[in-house]
Amino acid sequence: MFQLPLVAVRATQATCNLPPDKALSFQHVALRHAKAHGSKILLGLLFSTAISLLAYRRRSLSRSGIAGAIVTGTTTFG
C-alpha cells in the first residue's frame, strides 16, 4: 500500500501591521460577512420578484410560476 512520507511543518505566527485598537477581530469580520450576505439575498429577492411579476403581467408565467421564479432567482443570486 502506498504511504505518504511524514513531513515536519513549522508553524509561524501571523503578523499584523495594524495597531491592536485598529485590528479587526474574527467576530467583526464574520459579522460583516453575514451582513453582506444578507444584503445579497435581499437584493436577489427583490430582483427575482420584479422579474417574475413582469413576466406574469406579460402572461409568460402562471401564479405558481411566480413562486418558483422567486425561489430560484433568490437562491441563484444569493
pTM across the whole model: 0.57
Q: pLDDT value at position 78?
A: 72
Question: 15-62 pLDDT, tens per residue?
Answer: 656 556 555 666 666 667 667 777 889 999 999 999 999 999 999 999
Write the pLDDT tens digit of every residue in 5-16: 666 666 566 565
Q: 3-class secondary structure for 3-64?
A: CCCCCCCCCCCCCCCCCCCCCCCHHHHHHHHHHHHHHHHHHHHHHHHHHHHHHHHCCCCCHH
Lookup: cell for 75: 437562491
Among 33, 45, 46, smallest CA distance to 75 is for 45
- Measure CA 78 to chain center: 6
